[in-house]
Amino acid sequence: MTRLWNDPADFADDMVEGFVRANSRWVRKVYGGVTRSTQAAEPEVALVIGGGSGHYPAFAGLVGPGLAHGAAMGNLFASPSAHQVESVARASHRGRGVLLSYGNYAGDVLHFTEAQDALRADGIDCRTVTVTDDIFSAPPEEAEKRRGIAGDLTVFKVAGAAASLGYDLDGVERVARLANDRTRSLGVAFSGCTMPGAAEPLFTVPEGRMAVGLGIHGEPGLDETDIPTADGLAELFVGQLLADAEVPTEAAKAGGRVVPILNGLGSVKSEELFIVYARVAELLESAGLTIVDPQVGEFCTSFDMAGVSLTLLWLDDELERLWLAPADTPAYRCGAVDHAALSPTADDADADERATVPSASAASKEASRLIAELLNATREVIDAHADELGRIDAIAGDGDHGIGMQRGARSAAAEAAALVDLGAGAGTLLSRAGDAWADHAGGTSGALWGVILRTLGAHLGDTEPVSAEVVSAGVLAASDAVRSYGKARVGDKTLVDALVPFADTLAARVKGGCGLSAAWEAAAQAANTAAERTSDLMPGLGRARSHGEKALGVPDPGAVSLALIVTTVGSRLGTADVAQ
């Protein structure tokens, strides 16, 4: 289990601080993560990678000459927010464009795509290559749905090398996609990982059994078998990876060249990995493959998870040259980098834009005070139910929904309280509280709650009185925005299943002449009913999609947390002097 921390809620922030202090030769801290502390004499395409914390050396440990230019670092097992990704990308960009690369997880896709759109809107050429190496997470005909695990390293290394050799953005994107197409991984686990401060692991494996096809965020495996010998595990890995229908035909023929990466996920020791690798190498050579630069160690971990993964990268001449090109980072080194040709990166001056707020009417300021109270009530109810939300999420997901909601709600409530003191109007308060929620919660739920609060804030504004009609219209717009942003529909077993009936019922009741409090109460009842009914649904999106049958009989945690929040807000509206 994880033993050392101060406040579990501050674990990721504290970790980043220590990492940067220990590795200033390679990295410097910027908002949202780290960038290189040195730069090449000639500008390069900027490779910005990232994801949730808890996977060291992924992702910050791979920033340095010859590899990544920056890493956006989300909270534990939660994607960085769009704001954080954009910040790291802007700090890393030197005029030749940006390539974003990360594992294919719903929250990461949402946040990185939003950041890409913001960069493009500002005239920065930005592309994306998602890593999809996990063969167990989707069949070959749906390879685009596969998630990224330890195969991140091959894509990042190839792209970073291409950038260091002067490739333009088209070229860096091309070889990154080629590396992803030629990379396959499979992971197993003997026990789950435990988050800082948690009493139980995110999932368990029966004694003497092994989960097959696990993710790196505490998602349980997709299959289970008896624990094999080390040789038996090697045979499972190699057999499954060579049999995958999407293995490049030419590369798989006798004489093909392959990079094997045997990765420990946390508590499996190097000595054990070497025993497994001996048989892996024998099997690959027996298949007629030539092994190039094998890697055995920790490259993408999951706290203290007892697990192992094998990644295979099939090479061509260009990929081999890029894989073997020099790189020097805190956690990965290859060849000799010419440090004499590097110069320190100038620190950017960060303006504190949040120290001031736009002017607001007296009525809007009064509404802000109530909204801040409602956000604090939201924090309280999420704190009270965080463990249960995590338990529900762990059945078919990664178990971090309660923790993520806690971080988001606490940050939004703290931001709202500070903004009331600054005299912010309702629109500004909701918008900035939404940013705070997304930045600190990360993940899909963080992104969506950021969208909800910002959209509602845009409708309320800072100057007009807050009416039931305006609130209803804002909630309806937020429902539309969430569906547009996350692409979920009613029936996909997500937050949307509770949000849509809530928004629709609120709009109908307000249109029918109800005051805000009464309309909200009816809408909250609709949300609760809809959340309970998600127990009968199979997940259509997100990490739980791969574990569909396990989710049957259990409500969706995103829908449940939304229902909790709107019910709590409704109870407070009933005792407040609100627009009727």
Q: Token pair 């220590």 is at which residue?
A: 18
* Two structure tokens written together for 400: 């971090």
217 labelled catalytic: yes
Instruction: Please tell me whether residue 245 adopts helix, strand or coil conformation.
Output: coil
φ and ψ at residue 461, rounded to 5 degrees: 65, -175
| Residue 57 preceded by cis peptide, ω within 30 | yes
Residues 6+ apart with CB under 8 A from 426: 360, 364, 367, 368, 371, 457, 460, 461, 462, 466
Q: Are 242 and 196 in contact (CB under 8 A)?
A: no
Half-sphere exposure in the Cβ direction for 445 (13 Å, CA): 31
Residues 6+ apart with CB under 8 A from 238: 280, 283, 284, 287, 310
* Two structure tokens written together for 138: 């989707």
E strands in 517-579: none
Distance of alpha carbon 558 from alpha carbon 402, whole angstroms: 9
Q: List, as one string, the DSSP characters of 159-215.
A: HHHHHHTT--HHHHHHHHHHHHHTEEEEEEEEE----TT-SS-S----TTEEEES--
Count CB atoms within 10 A of the CB of residue 359. Answer: 12
Q: Maximum Cα–Cα distance for the chain, whole Å?
A: 78
Distance of alpha carbon 493 from alpha carbon 71, whole angstroms: 31
Distance of alpha carbon 556 from alpha carbon 79, whole angstroms: 19
Q: Are 153 and 58 in contact (CB under 8 A)?
A: yes
Phi and psi based region of residue 208 (left: phi greater than 0; alpha: psi -120 to 50; beta: remaining) = left
Q: Is the dihedral of CA 532, 536, 542, 548 positive or negative?
A: positive
Q: How far is CA 53 from the centre of its chain?
A: 9
Catalytic residue among 217, 401, 440, 459: 217
Active site residues: 217
